[in-house]
Amino acid sequence: MQKINLAVIYGGQSTEHEISIKSATSVVANLKQEKYNILLIKIEKDGTWYLQNGNDIQTSSNAASVVLLKQDGRVQLLNLNSNTLVHEVDIVFPVLHGKYGEDGTIQGLFRMLDLPFVGCDVFASAACMDKDYCKRLLQDQGIKIAPYRVAYKWNAKQYDFANISAELGTPLFIKPAHSGSSVGVHKVESAEAFEHALSDAFNYDTKVLIEQNIEGIEIECAILGNEEAKPSVLGAIIPQKDFYSFESKYKDEKGAQLQMPADIEESLADEIRRQSLKAFKVMNCNGLARVDFFLSPNGEYVLNEINTLPGFTSISMYPKLWELTGISYADLLDQLIEFGLNRQY
């Protein structure tokens, strides 16, 4: 069987650069070596693309800087150091989180090259990355979301803690509209904390969401497939601190309790899975996504966000949920690559 030339692109220019490297490390470790010629392309924080040496995920010092080039109907890697063609590429797996990775920008590049890739297309990637517009589209189709308001950098002074807390209650959540991994997210209960949180969130984005707090636990559902996508079993995240912050996700092993499968009634689990699949289709997603909800103690739930390129680290929920559903990490990667190759554009 002829091997597939698979380019794994990772790193990137977002605040989630290091998380991307961790995800890529797990992806490469679980790819079936007999099926793929694996080309590792690391995007440094300055935007330079490097073809890594062998399986060296981390070091770029001796790597060749490269670009993707369309020539004679084939996509190839061009070594910019020697101006020579390095390798043909059949499909790309962009293991990139955040800005320039899962926001539709690099997906647009792949589409321009007519190069198959793993994951959601341009529109779904861009729309799901913008928490504001994603919520608008979901709400339009009857999917419940938490009440929120939008602040822009140029009009932020019009938002007063007293007025907005009177409308949405306290505590409030403040989060950048275009970021993941809880970067720049704050839970606030005072005017002083509100001002600080807004200022910090604007370090990451020019648009910020001010959102009503939903008491309860986070429920996550993994979706896999194109036209006939399917949902996984559900997982639950029970924060051991104020909320599921960046530190809780990646630094503090005791920051949250993961419950897989989620300990909720089967009828409710089925309903959340149906809503996850509906949201996936409303946003025109394909390949994969993770749909996150907040579930209150009385059984009511709201959709929090859709992550079109969720974490793929060894402890990430997306691969763990599929392992629990009956698909191993390695087989999951095979299916994702197959969905990318067979997608109808």
Catalytic residues: 16, 181, 250, 290, 292, 305, 307, 311
Rounded CA-CA distance 92/191 in Å is 46
Rounded CA-CA distance 269/233 in Å is 8
Q: Give the end-to-end CA distance of the chain in Å, rounded to a whole number.
A: 26
**Closest C-alpha to 217, from 321, 296, 303, 305:** 296
Task: Give the burial class of 132: count Cβ atoms within 10 A of its Cβ; 0-12 exposed, 13-18 middle, 19 or more buried.
Answer: middle
| Unique residue bearing structure tokens 């993707």 | 68
Residues 168, 149: contact at Cβ < 8 Å? yes
Residues 4, 342: contact at Cβ < 8 Å? no
Strands (E) located in the chain: 4-11, 36-43, 49-51, 64-71, 74-79, 84-88, 91-95, 148-152, 172-176, 186-188, 207-212, 217-225, 230-239, 256-259, 287-295, 301-307
Walk across the sheet containing 287-295 and list its strands.
256-259, 230-239, 217-225, 287-295, 301-307
Neighbours of 29 (CB within 10 A): 12
State how far Cα 49 lies from the chain centre. 21
DSSP 11-61: E-SSTTHHHHHHHHHHHHHHS-TTTEEEEEEEEPTTS-EEE-STT-SS--T
- Containing 144, the helix (H) or strand (E) segment is none
**Closest C-alpha to 4, from 40, 43, 33, 41:** 33
Rounded CA-CA distance 111/122 in Å is 8
